[in-house]
Amino acid sequence: MAQCLVAAAERYGYAERVAQQMALTHGAQLGHDLGQFLRSALIFGAGTPLGAALPGLFVAGLLGKSTGGSADGVAIDPRLLTNPSLVSLVRVAVSSLDDVGAGLAGMPRSVGVMFGDEGLGVIGVSSTAVGLLAAARSGGLFKEGPVNVAAVGASAHATPPTGAGDLAERIPKAVAGQPQVRIEKYGTSEHPSWAVYVGGTVDWNAVATTEPWDLTANVTAIAKQNAGSFSAVIDAMKAAGIAPSDPVVVAGHSQGGLVATQVAAYNRFNVQAVATFGAPESRVPVPQGVATLTVEHTDDVVTALGGASLVDSDDRVTVRREVFAAMAPPVGETLPAHHLDRYRETALLIDTSPETNLQEFRDTVTGVLGSDPGEAVLWRGIRLPPGPSSQ
């Protein structure tokens, strides 16, 4: 029976990947056609920052509305935003942004495929985010600046996490004015190991403030530039005393999950395992050998805002669950499937699974962090005012 269930799951996964690839192919053609139409209509001049930013404005609009309850005074039905079909549509639409850009630039479809996300990756979601930043920053939006980080309060007793449930439970909630990072130290002074937890977006205003976990950092991170949240996490890890050779486990929710994958890809630290919960699909290639757990709710539209992940990693295990498959979403919550508490529930379910890949991930976490108690410190990052030439 167990073998039959595993075989059925593998066939389901294969069918899902084939269906997604077909949707992406058709979406890419439609995106290219739309770009050509806009070009022929002379709505935007090809090669201008605003023209390059057009697809990115779509992403930013979704990001900016992801925590709001209304648009232009019209209430958004939570049943729409938690519809898995909408999530799939947004994923395909975002993945086709490079094709819209190629059409705008007058590139033949074959050239767009060669240089787009499915090819060399020269143009794509990241490049459209770069175009958005170029256009928006000239108007005073999305301007990054340096960050300062500091420990908050005294260290506290901590026990090593044993699975996805513990990792999700310790991720700081996105609350204004509160710490965004938690760092735990285990092992001995000579041979320490570490767990780093990164929270999600706190501020959704397009004008950058002192909060590095904001919309500016979201767009900057997708553009593969130095986001304030990423800088704050790196600085906190260094200030905590994490050496380049020390083994590290990183977990994050939402924007924090995107940052977690970037930390793993950053060659400064010895990251051994990464867990992301409700993060935009990451096109950041986590190094081979790093155990990676990606947890997504199929009714969480935020996971689609990075497009479809084209990263092919044998070390990445993806778990998907529809939170509101058997019940209506709660009234008054715009994106209930994205809430950290819902991902904590899913993480607990993951820990009850006997599936081999999930057990191997848990074993990696416990192997890195051990079983002896350690200490935890909270950290808060603050963005400083940008200088005259800051971008």
Q: For 37-104, give the DSSP string.
A: HHHHTTSS-TTSHHHHHHHHHHHHHHHHHSS-SEETTEEPPHHHHT-HHHHHHHHHHHHTHHHHHHHH
- Domain membership flag for residue 92: yes
- Residue where a domain terminates, one of 137, 170, 196: 137
Between residues 353 and 311, the one the model is more confident about? 353
- Residue where a domain terminates, one of 137, 159, 175: 137
pLDDT, residue 92, reads: 76
Please indicate, yes or no, whether residues 191 and 133 belong to a single structural domain of this protein. no
- Domain membership flag for residue 142: no
Q: Is the pLDDT of residue 7 over 50?
A: yes
> Which of 30-44, 163-177, 196-210, 323-337 bottoms out in mean pLDDT, i.e. has the lowest?
30-44
Residue pair 281/308 in contact (Cβ under 8 Å)? The answer is: yes
Which pTM does this prediction carry? 0.77
Q: Is the pLDDT of residue 121 over 60?
A: no
pLDDT, residue 257, reads: 96
Q: Is the pLDDT of residue 71 over 50?
A: no
Please indicate, yes or no, whether residues 132 and 151 belong to a single structural domain of this protein. no
Please indicate, yes or no, whether residues 283 and 374 belong to a single structural domain of this protein. yes
Q: Which of 63, 83, 96, 128 is nearest to 258 (CA)?
A: 63
Q: Which of 66, 56, 98 is nearest to 302 (CA)?
A: 66
What one-character DSSP code corresponds to residue 274? E
Task: Compute the average pLDDT of residues 212-241.
Answer: 91
Please indicate, yes or no, whether residues 59 and 156 belong to a single structural domain of this protein. no
Query: What's the chain's average pLDDT?
Result: 78
pLDDT, residue 75, reads: 54
- Domain membership flag for residue 103: yes
Q: Is the pLDDT of residue 140 over 70?
A: yes
> Which of 90-104, 152-166, 214-228 bottoms out in mean pLDDT, i.e. has the lowest?
90-104
- Domain membership flag for residue 360: yes
Please indicate, yes or no, whether residues 108 and 207 belong to a single structural domain of this protein. no
Domains: count for the chain: 2
Please indicate, yes or no, whether residues 108 and 185 belong to a single structural domain of this protein. no
- Residue where a domain terminates, one of 109, 137, 165: 137
pLDDT, residue 378, reads: 98
pLDDT, residue 293, reads: 96
Please indicate, yes or no, whether residues 194 and 262 belong to a single structural domain of this protein. yes
- Domain membership flag for residue 272: yes
Between residues 136 and 224, the one the model is more confident about? 224
pLDDT, residue 134, reads: 67
Task: Compute the average pLDDT of residues 109-116.
Answer: 46
pLDDT, residue 143, reads: 86
- Domain membership flag for residue 389: no
Between residues 10 and 126, the one the model is more confident about? 126
- Domain membership flag for residue 390: no
pLDDT, residue 49, reads: 47
Tens-digit pLDDT profile for residues 172-199: 999 999 999 999 999 999 999 999 999 9
Please indicate, yes or no, whether residues 122 and 164 belong to a single structural domain of this protein. no
Please indicate, yes or no, whether residues 90 and 126 belong to a single structural domain of this protein. yes
pLDDT, residue 100, reads: 53
Please indicate, yes or no, whether residues 199 and 341 belong to a single structural domain of this protein. yes
267-306: b or e for each residue (b if 16 or more CB lie within 10 Å)?
A: eebbbbbbbbbbbbbbbbebeeebbbbbbbbbbbbbbbbb
Please indicate, yes or no, whether residues 84 and 185 belong to a single structural domain of this protein. no
Task: Compute the average pLDDT of residues 218-247.
Answer: 92
- Domain membership flag for residue 282: yes
Please indicate, yes or no, whether residues 226 and 351 belong to a single structural domain of this protein. yes
Residue 185: domain span: 147-383
Residue pair 259/221 in contact (Cβ under 8 Å)? The answer is: yes
pLDDT band at 58 (very low <50, low <70, confident <90, very high): very low
Tens-digit pLDDT profile for residues 275-305: 999 998 766 788 889 999 999 999 999 998 8
